[in-house]
Structure 1
Amino acid sequence: MLFLFSCATYNSRIGNYYSEVRNGNYQKADADLEKVKLIKARRNQLLYLLEKGKITHLLKQYDSSNVYFNQADVFMEDVRTSASDIALGTLLNPMMQTYKGEDFEKFMVHYYKALNYLYLGQPDEAMVEARRISLTSYAQQDKSKRENRYSDDAFSLMLQGVIYEQGNDINNAFIAYRNAVDIYLKNNNQYYGTNLPGQLKKDLLRTAELMGFQDEVQRYEGLLNTRFEAVAPPEGGELVLFWENGLAPVKQQQDFFFALTKDGFGNFAFVDPAGSFNIPFDFASTNARKEDLKLDDLRSLRVAFPKYQEQPPFFRSANVSLNHATYQFEPAENINTIAFATLKERFLKEMSQALSRLAVKKLAEIAARPKSDDKNKDTKEAVALAIQVFSFVSEKADTRNWQSLPHTISYMRIPLSRGVNVLQISVSGQSNQTFNLVVEGTGKLQVQNICTLR
C-alpha cells in the first residue's frame, strides 16, 4: 500500500477536478477542488491559490479570481527555501517541499490578473499589472544569467503592449511591442515553439508611427522584411481576442539508474550505465563529506525524476467571422513547449540534487548495518532494513504543476463596427463547433478571452 501510494502522481490524486475543468463543468470542478485534501496541504498552498484563481476566472467571478491570484502573487514573491524544506527534500523527497511555482507560471498570473481587471472595468489596475510584468522579467533575468535559458516571456511583453495601448499609453505600448519583437529576432523569429506573429509586427510599426519614431519604423521594416501600411482606425474600435486551447502538460515520474564514480582529481560524479550523463555530487545541498563516500556502497542508485506528458488539445484551429470577413488566430504562447524546455534546461542541476539526496539516504542505511561481531545484530539488521524500505517508498519525483493552464494561447485583432457586433467563432479538430460572442463596439480597444480546454 505504501508503494502504491508513493507512486501516485499529483495529477492522479487530483484527477476529478481536472476532468471537470476539461469538460467545462466549472461549478462542479470548483466544488471538487475544495474536497481534495492534498491541495489543501500547507506545502501546496500556491497550487490551491492558482487553481482557485483560474476556476473562478472561468466562472466569470473576476473579483474573487484576483483575490486568489493576488495571494498567489504575494506568495511567489515572498517564499524562501527554509531549513525545514531542505531537510524534507533531503530525507524524504521534493514532493514534500513547499511548491514555489514554475517560472512561466509566474508570468501567467499577470495575464489572468490583467484580464480580470479589464473585465471589471479597472484599466488603471490593469496598467499596474502591465508594469509588474517588467519586474517579473527583471527578476527572471537575474535568476537565469546564462544564455539559452527561459528568462523572458515574449507573450507577456506583447500582452503588456496591448494593456498599455488599451490605456492610451502609446509610448510604453511601443516599448513593450519592441521588446517582444527583439526577443523573437534574437531567437531567429521563433521563441519556445511560437513564430513571430504577424500582428505583433503590425502593432510595433503602428505604434512607432503614432509616436513619430520614423527611424524605428524604417529600422524594423528592414529587420522584419515588411512594410508599414497605415490603416484608418475602425469606427467601433478593435477587439484583441485571446484563445486558450487545451490543457498544459502533466508531470509523470520516470526512474533513472546511476553509480557513483571518482576521477583522478578526487571529484565525485554520478554516471548512468549508458554513459550519457556525468553529474557531479552536490555536497552543498547534503552536507555530506567526501571521506564518507565509498564507491562500492553506491554502485546502484534509482532516482525518481519528473517528466512532462503532453495533453494533446481536442481542437487544432479556429477562426472568427464578422461583417463578411474572416480572421485567423495566430499562435502567441505555447505553454506545452515552454514546460518541456524549461524542465530540460534545469535537468542537470536538479538531477544532481536528487542523486546526492538519494546517496545520503543510502549512507544512512549502510551506517545502520551491524558489524559481524555486533551483539545487537538482529536489531540493527531490522533498523537497516527499515531504512532501506523507507528510502524505497519515499523516493518520489515532484509531479506538481499548475495543470489548468492552457496548452497554447493564440490571438487576433478584430476591427469592430459601432454598436453590437456578433462574432461567429468556429473551432475545428476532432470535431467542429461554432458559437457566438457579442461585443459592443465603443470606439476603443477591448480585450477578451475564450477557452476550449479539452
Structure 2
Amino acid sequence: MATFNLKTVAALLFLILSGCATYQTKVNDARNAIASENPEQAVALLKPLAEEESRDQLVYLLDYATALQQARKFKESAQAYQKAAQIAEVQDYYSVSKITASLVLTEEMAQYKGDDYEKVLINAMNAVNYLEMGNLDEALVEVKQLNLKLYKYRTEAKKNYEQNPYAYYLGAMIWEAQRSFDDAYIAYKNVYDIDPNYGPIKADLLRSARLAQRPDELSKWQKQFGESAPSVDLKNSGEVVLIFEQGWGPRKESRPENRRFPQLKPVYARTQRAKLEVANQSATTNEIFSVERVAIKTLNDDYARLVGSRVAGIGAKAVLADQVRQKNELLGAVAWIALNATDRADVRQWSTLPESFQIARMTLKPGKYKVKAIGLDAYGSESGEQMPEREIEVRAGKKVFVSWRSVR
C-alpha cells in the first residue's frame, strides 16, 4: 500500500509541475520575435510545434501561418492556413479520455478546435496571401468560404454571429478588379447594410452603382447622401489598395478573481492607423473590422458554457478525491489539493491575430511607383513604425494589393 501511495502522490505532483507550461508561455518568444520585426525567427520557433500532431496543433498552425505571412512567405503561409482550415473543419472529434481529463484537470487537455471567429478569420488572412501573390481568383474563393461559414453559423448552428464587413469589402474590391461590377455593387451594399458608418462606403456605392449601370440605385443613393457619383476613368487610371493589419488582438489570461475562467485583455498598440504615401499623395486607413471587439464578445457569449463545464469539473474532482480518501484520508486530501491546483483557464487562442483590419485606397495613373506606409498614433502623429518601401506597377483598370502589419 505504501508503494501505491507514493506512486499516486508522485503522479499528482507530476501533473501539477508538467501543467505549468501553458500555450501562452510556449509562443511568447515567437510573438516577441514578430514584435521585434524578426518574423523569420518566429517561423523557426513555431514550425516544430505546428508540424507535431497534438491536441494543440491547430492553434500553433494558425500562429505559424501568420508568422510566415509576416515573413512574406505567402505561398507557404497559404498552405499552412489551408491545413489549419482542414483541421478546424473536422467535426465532433473529441477523444473520450481527453474530455474526461479536461473535466478532472483542465480544459487545455481537450483538443483545441478554435473559436468560431478564428475559423472565419483563417479565410480572411489567407485571402491576403493570394492578393499579395496576385491570385485574385483564389482570394475570392477564400472570401466566399468565409461568408459561407458565417451563413452556416447563423442558419444551421443557430448562433447569433454577426456578419463580417471586411469579407464583403474584400470581395467587392476583387470583383471590381475583375470588372464584375454588379457583383461588386451588391457586396458594397452588404457592407453598407452592416456598417453604414464606414467612411468610404458612400463613395463606393455611388461609384459601383454607376459602373454596374444601375441608374435607379444610383439616383437613390445620390438623393440619400446628397452627393454626386465620383468620376471613374478605367482607361487611364488604376488603384493601389493597402490592407493594414493593425496591432495585436486581445491576449487571453486567467481571470484574477477566479483562475478557472479566462478573460481577454487588450494589448496596447502605439500605432493606431496607417498613412499610405505614393507619388506625393497620401491616404489614411479606415478601420473596417475589429478583431478585439469580436473576440471579447465571443468569449463573453461563451461564459455560461465555461461556467457549466468547470462546475462539472469540480464535481468530477470531488468524486475522484473522495475515492482516494476512502482508502487513505491523507492521500485523499493531497489528491483534492493537487487536482484543484491543476485546474486553470484554457488560455489557448490565435494570439498573433491583429487588433483590427483597415483599408486605404488611392487612384493613380498607370506606371511604376514606390509605396510607403507610415504608422500613426491616436493623435495622428507618426508612431515611429513604417512599412519598408516597395515598388509596384499600376495598370489601367487594375488594382494592386499591398499588405502591412504593425506590431508596436
Q: After superposition, give the CA deviation of every residue in 1:211-248 in whole Å (9 maximum; x if it has no partner).
A: 2223333444566x452423123634011211112111
- The match for 1:167 is 178
- The match for 1:450 is 404
- The match for 2:276 is 320
- The match for 2:82 is 70
Q: 2:63 aligns with which of 29, 38, 51?
A: 51
- The match for 1:177 is 188
Aligned residue runs from structure 1 range 429-440, under 5 A: 429=377, 431-433=383-385, 435-440=388-393
Verify the 8 A CA contact 1:144 1:151 in the aligned structure 2.
no
- The match for 2:9 is none
- The match for 2:229 is 229
Q: Is it true that 1:252 corresponds to 2:253 in the alignment?
A: yes
Aligned residue runs from structure 1 range 21-40, under 5 A: 21-34=34-47, 40=52
Verify the 8 A CA contact 2:289 2:358 in the aligned structure 1.
yes
Verify the 8 A CA contact 1:62 1:117 in the aligned structure 2.
yes
**1:368 offset after TM fit, Å?**
4.4
Q: Is it true that 1:331 corresponds to 2:287 in the alignment?
A: yes
Q: After superposition, give the CA deviation of every residue in 1:323-365 in whole Å (9 maximum; x if it has no partner).
A: 4332111111211122112111221222222222222322333
Flag structure 2 segments of 5+ consecutive residues without an equivalent. 1-12
**1:380 offset after TM fit, Å?**
2.8
Q: Is it true that 1:343 corresponds to 2:299 in the alignment?
A: yes
What SS class does the counterpart of residue 304 from structure 1 fall into? strand
Verify the 8 A CA contact 1:51 1:402 in the aligned structure 2.
yes
Verify the 8 A CA contact 2:254 2:263 in the aligned structure 1.
yes
**Which residue identity lines up with residue 176 of structure 2 in the other structure?**
E
Q: Is it true that 1:123 corresponds to 2:136 in the alignment?
A: yes
- The match for 1:202 is 203
**1:35 offset after TM fit, Å?**
5.4
Q: Call closer, same or farther: CA 1:387–1:151 in 2, change over 3 Å.
A: farther
Q: Is it true that 1:153 corresponds to 2:164 in the alignment?
A: yes
Q: 1:421 aligns with which of 330, 344, 369?
A: 369
Verify the 8 A CA contact 1:240 1:411 in the aligned structure 2.
yes
Verify the 8 A CA contact 2:222 2:228 in the aligned structure 1.
yes
What SS class does the counterpart of residue 230 from structure 1 fall into? coil
- The match for 1:80 is 92
Give the structure-2-normalised TM-score: 0.86
Q: Call closer, same or farther: CA 1:26–1:134 in 2, change over 3 Å.
A: same
**1:25 offset after TM fit, Å?**
0.5
Verify the 8 A CA contact 2:261 2:346 in the aligned structure 1.
yes
**Which residue identity lines up with residue 198 of structure 2 in the other structure?**
P
**1:448 offset after TM fit, Å?**
1.7
What SS class does the counterpart of residue 46 from structure 2 fall into? helix
CA distance in 1, matches of 2:296, 2:124: 21
**1:162 offset after TM fit, Å?**
1.7
Q: Is it true that 1:366 corresponds to 2:366 in the alignment?
A: no
Give the structure-1-normalised TM-score: 0.78
- The match for 1:270 is none
CA distance in 2, matches of 1:98, 1:431: 40
Q: Is it true that 1:42 corresponds to 2:43 in the alignment?
A: no
Q: Quick one: percent identity of the two aligned structures?
A: 24
What SS class does the counterpart of residue 319 from structure 1 fall into? strand
RMSD: 2.6
Flag structure 1 segments of 5+ consecutive residues without an equivalent. 190-195, 258-302, 371-378
**1:167 offset after TM fit, Å?**
2.4
What SS class does the counterpart of residue 315 from structure 1 fall into? coil
The size of the alignment, in residue pairs, is 387
**Which residue identity lines up with residue 227 of structure 1 in the other structure?**
E
**1:5 offset after TM fit, Å?**
5.6
